[in-house]
Amino acid sequence: GTQYEMIKKDLAGEKKNVGVIHLNRPKALNALCRQLMTELSQALTEYENDASIGAIVITGNEKAFAAGADIKEMMGNTYAECIIGNFLADWTKVSNVRKPTIAAVNGYALGGGCELAMMCDIIYAGDKAKFGQPEIAIGTIPGAGGSQRLTRVIGKSKAMEMCLTGNMITAEEAERTGMVSKIFPADQLLNEAVKLGEKISSHSPLTVALCKEAVNVAYETTLQEGLRFERRTFHATFSTKDQKEGMKAFSEKRAPNFTSE
Ligand code: CAA
């Protein structure tokens, strides 16, 4: 496989069907430099193309999930360079992966680190996790969804407060607002995220992909369009063998055997 320097990949779960990506630049608190993001996109693409993988977990270490975009790398950027290079546009791979993604956040998730977590489908947090958008303190603003996704997730008042003060919130606050779905002791976090990935992987990958797409439409369109998309996608599941198998297995009181057809 590909050689990585700033991330590590390994397969987890009893059936090795959960693809884990460890952000691995600990000396810089996993600051998300260009090379790290390129490697992350590459690793995501590999898991996406690997039929044995049903879900993907992205994690960091106990001190930091990621402390943001790499300040030292970007500090000299000119406006023209940002435009010509479409700075940060290459981060979108994370939100476009078709398989479910789980962020397992211990420690700091700041700036681009918080944005990266929010690009994932589900966030699990360790009890010491801290989330923040501190860009304001260094003369810039969130650039990878912080002002947009955060506002949709936790509401305007809290998002404004975080983006305008740069203050961090705790794992408990993040859970209370719905940004994080569950909190675990730090040393159990990754294991719990993998268990979640295994549960998702036990379902039909085909149906899971459709379901993920449907939930995401809720973020991107009006309710009316979203409901129409959902209903038609629901109808489409009836063209799959997995729907026939799933309902047959239920009526025969046995476990389904999904084939993604
Ligand atoms: N970029 C580059 N390097 C970073 C970094 C970042 N975002 N965050 C931390 N580092 C580096 C530090 O420079 C330091 O390197 P050296 O040892 O070479 O000096 C190393 O990681 C350890 O960091 P600290 O010594 O600062 O560790 P600490 O425990 O004292 O503080 C912290 C931890 C509060 C997270 C602090 O590191 C910090 O405030 N980091 C920056 C957070 C930030 O502003 N993030 C937003 C970036 S902008 C952005 O992300 C834009 C966007 O929307 C995409």
The closest-lying atom of ligand 1 relative to the alpha carbon of residue 88 is: 54
Ligand 1 center–CA 72 separation, angstroms: 9
Cα 236 to averaged position of ligand 1 atoms, centre (Å): 47
Q: Which of 54, 112, 126, 132 is flagged as catalytic?
A: 112
pLDDT given for residue 86 in this prediction: 93
Asked if 112 is an active-site residue, the reply is yes
Residue 6 DSSP one-character state: S
Would you state the structure tokens that stand for residue 200, as one six-digit string?
């998702």
**Helices within 49-201 (DSSP H only):** 71-74, 79-84, 93-96, 112-119, 146-154, 156-165, 171-176, 189-201
Q: What pLDDT digit, counting tens, does each position of 5-29 carry?
A: 999 999 999 999 999 999 999 999 9
Number of other CB atoms surrounding residue 146 within 10 Å:
24
Distance of CA 84 to the CA centre of its chain: 27
Nearest CA to ligand 1 atom 12: 28
Mean pLDDT of the chain: 97
Instruction: Indicate if 115 belongs to the active site.
Output: yes
**Phi then psi for 154, rounded to 5 degrees?**
-110, 0
CB atoms within 10 A of CB 35: 15
Sort residue 6 into left (φ over 0), alpha (ψ -120 to 50) or beta: alpha
Q: Each residue of 73-100: pLDDT tens digit?
A: 999 999 999 999 999 998 999 999 999 9
Q: What is the DSSP letter of 127?
A: T
How far is 22 from 34, CA to CA, in rounded Å? Answer: 16
Q: For residue 208, what pLDDT is reported?
A: 98
Token couple for 193: 């995220």
Give the pLDDT confidence of 157-212 residue by residue, as tens digits.
999 999 999 999 999 999 999 999 999 999 999 999 999 999 999 999 999 999 99
Q: What is the best residue among 61, 71, 73 to mutate for testing ligand 1's pocket, by most ligand atoms within 8 Å of CB?
A: 71
Ligand 1 site: residues with CB under 6 angstroms? 28-29, 31, 67-72, 88, 108, 110-112, 115, 134-135, 138, 142-144, 146
Give every CB contact of residue 218 below 8 A, 6+ residues apart in sequence.
226
| Residue 122 CA to ligand 1 centre (angstroms) | 24
**How many angstroms is it from 60 CA to the middle of ligand 1?**
14
